[in-house]
Amino acid sequence: MTEAPQLYLMTPAGAQASALGPLLAEVMDRFPVACLRIRGGAEEDDLGRLADLAREIAHARDVAVVIDDHLRLAQRHGLDGVHLTDGARGVRAARKELGPDAIIGAYCGASRHDGMSAGEAGADYISFGPVGETALGRGAPAPFELFEWWSEMIEIPIVAEGALSRELIQDISAACDFIAIGPEIWSEDDPVAALSAIWG
């Protein structure tokens, strides 16, 4: 794999649409984003408002939008699909519910087995992580060898996410199709500058 990975942007967990909208538009005007993922952590009404706003901003820029786990919200708000945070378990049901054209991604931690199971169940991409050390308790970091093996052996696109730094992105880029960035920039005072610093 020689092409540079594409940017996969995640919204902040629990974000409010009114506060996020201008920032989201600015980031997406400044950087070529391949996919936007709406993270959970908010009430369903708030997620619905965020979904409408994110869809409007992203689709105007030809960017696909997926949402964490909420099949119903994805359908109701005209999103492009879902990102399943529990690995392979819900992939078949999501595919049956959302149809053949929906994007279905699966977060599989550092488990090659889960990734392969999700792929066999029909996932469009597999997300592994965290890449760096994190105190969030998401398990041990996904080793570089996992990304390298996957990119050589499996055709399903792979996403790297979690505790990323500029150095880690440079190290892992050759073995990834997408780099998922979110918490790394939204906690900063100037997310656009933070993304410039990490993404280059």
Whole-prediction pTM value? Answer: 0.96
Give the phi and the psi of residue 153 in degrees, each rounded to 5: -105, -25
If we measure between CA atoms, which residue out of 151, 133, 149 comes closest to residue 141? 133
Which pLDDT belongs to residue 62?
98
Q: Which helix (H) or strand (E) holds 166?
A: helix 166-172
Asked whether residue 195 is domain-assigned, the answer is no
In the chain, the number of structural domains is 1
**pLDDT of 105-133, one tens digit each?**
999 999 999 999 999 999 999 999 999 98
Asked whether residue 20 is domain-assigned, the answer is yes
Q: Is the pLDDT of residue 54 over 90?
A: yes
Contact predicate 81/90, CB 8 Å: no
State the residue for tokens 């998922």. Answer: 180
DSSP E strand stretches across the chain: 6-10, 33-38, 64-68, 81-84, 103-107, 125-128, 158-161, 178-181
| 161/16 Cα distance (integer angstroms) | 22
Asked whether residue 193 is domain-assigned, the answer is no
Report the percentage of the chain scoring pLDDT > 90: 90
At 143, which CATH number? 3.20.20.70
**pLDDT of 69-88, one tens digit each?**
999 999 999 999 999 999 99
| 98/81 Cα distance (integer angstroms) | 7
Which pLDDT belongs to residue 200?
73
Asked whether residue 198 is domain-assigned, the answer is no
Q: Which helix (H) or strand (E) holds 94?
A: helix 91-98
Q: Is the pLDDT of residue 1 over 50?
A: no
| 34/61 Cα distance (integer angstroms) | 10
Contact predicate 132/160, CB 8 Å: no
Q: Is the pLDDT of residue 41 over 90?
A: no
Range of the domain at 99: 6-188
Asked whether residue 101 is domain-assigned, the answer is yes
Neighbours of 136 (CB within 10 A): 9
| 108/142 Cα distance (integer angstroms) | 10
Specify which residues 33 forms β-bridges with: 7
Asked whether residue 10 is domain-assigned, the answer is yes
Asked whether residue 194 is domain-assigned, the answer is no
Which pLDDT belongs to residue 138?
61
Asked whether residue 13 is domain-assigned, the answer is yes
